[in-house]
Amino acid sequence: MSKEVRDLEPSVVWNHFEDLNAVPRPSKKEGRVISFMKSFGNALGLETLQDKIGNVIIKKPATSGLEDRATVILQAHLDMVHQKNSDTEFDFEQQGINSYINGDWVTADGTTLGADNGMGVAAIMAVLSSEEVQNPPIEALFTVDEETGMTGALELDKDILSGSILLNLDTEEDDELSIGCAGGVDTVAKLKYKEESLPDQALQYAISVKGLKGGHSGMEIHLGRGNANKIMNRLIWNCEDSFGLKVNSIEGGSLRNAIPRESFGKIIVNSDDFLTEFSRRKEEIEEELKHTEPELEISIRETSGIDKVIPKDIQKKVLEAIYSVHNGVYRMSSIMTDLVETSSSLAIVSIKNGLFQAESLQRSSFESSKWDIAATIAGPFRLIGCEVSHHGSYPGWAPNTESVILNCVKEQYNIMFGEEPRVLAGHGGLECGIIGERYPDLDMISFGPTIKNPHSPDEKVNIASVGKFWNFLKAILINSPKSSLYVRTCKQGSSELCC
């Protein structure tokens, strides 16, 4: 862990962030970080709960003078995306993140940093542990498994929270207030095949595509970044007849919600003339992407040990399907300027040991469009005989421009920073839509510090923005709405205070 990072201001936030990053916290394996968070709450003498799925809730009473304020739920997720550079040796299940200062940013050594959503978690920990921060009644909600299916939010107990306001601390630009997000669904295609033995006198090669920026397949899908799976496919597509190309294996991408940065393949050909064609395609791709992907590395080298390949007819179908399946922005919003409405990211492609598998994530602001793009992606794979399934569907979060907390937060931002914040809906998935389904009376907003390149080893958080975020959060809490502004209708038809 980094002493230099711990010495940054606000130290209370950075120290909690470093403490959190010392705890391995992969999605679906959050046992250690759950225990860490429960120990943290209990050590403070605060009411600490865990629901059946593993979400941790810590409750802190209001400080003197703020007892009449609406109860505020502070929410962030405990898990983090695990990505590393191919030449970095790191065990995410055993090691803590190695963070360091790089100019105006904090980043990690060859891995994701975990600022998504560790900075939000750290800020909540700072509120809970502080004896100086003035706060309304607080319910701190730490969810699990946000990054691989949002199951923590989906399985959140419906009776464990009583708050009226939810502040989600998972937005990644410090001048943004998020009031909506896209829903999503995973599409998985599988096709089994019987491997064939190598033809005589085959030339064996290993191909690598790496150095791409990758990143968040929701927040950064519109930036035109290269997709390693698409690039690999383009390098070898339609070479069966001319060069006798057959695939032994392809492994591209590793996470469902990250733009794939790397792909590695093993092939055979019957003529070294393939190298000339490969070089031509490589130069074309590098020229097209030289401005968006300056670090792209495409290479080929001789290899050995290949003994099985995919049958020619199956291979041709698979490569055609990968080529034809949509990747990137599908439709821009007609409601909000510069907002991606619908997209798809071909996240993972695997061909090996008799099984082809492709995993992609579709996102949309509209539930109907989400399923439309999912059907569009499924079509090419179904046509070649794949078994296609959809998993992990979660709803979007519809914007509420009349929100009480939105107006309060906008006013506070203007007072503190002398300008209007950007109020928008994002294309990335947030847990607000799911939590809002379980607690439909909640008034919600999302904000956070500036984080760049989440879901990639280039992830970094701006140091100055963390201080801005922390001061803004404290100001929101001390100026939070009174509980009398929130009323709801009981089952019997009478009104009562939300909190």
Strand 297-302 and strand 203-210: pairing? Answer: antiparallel
Is 145 a known active-site residue? no
CA dist., res. 39 & res. 58, Å (int): 11
For tokens 């809490």, what's the residue?
A: 477
**Is 420 assigned a catalytic role?**
no
- Catalytic residue selected from 51, 145, 146, 186: 146
Exposed, middle or buried, 304 (CB in 10 Å: 0-12/13-18/19+)? exposed
Q: b vs e for 216-251, b when ≥16 Cβ sit within 10 Å of the residue's Cβ?
A: bbbbbbeeebbbbbbbbbbbbeebbeebbbbbbbbb
Helix (H, G, I), strand (E, B) or coil at 379: helix
* Residue ranges of E strands in 39-87: 47-50, 56-60, 72-77
Q: 339 is written with which tokens? A: 């907002």
Q: Which of 18, 30, 51, 79 is catalytic?
A: 79
Please give the backbone phi and psi of residue 352, each rounded to the nearest 5 degrees, phi first. Answer: -170, 155
Closest CA to 68 of 209, 164, 166, 176: 164
**Rounded CA separation 253/83 (Å):** 10
H helix runs in 223-273, sequence order: 228-236, 240-243
Residues acting as catalytic residues: 79, 146
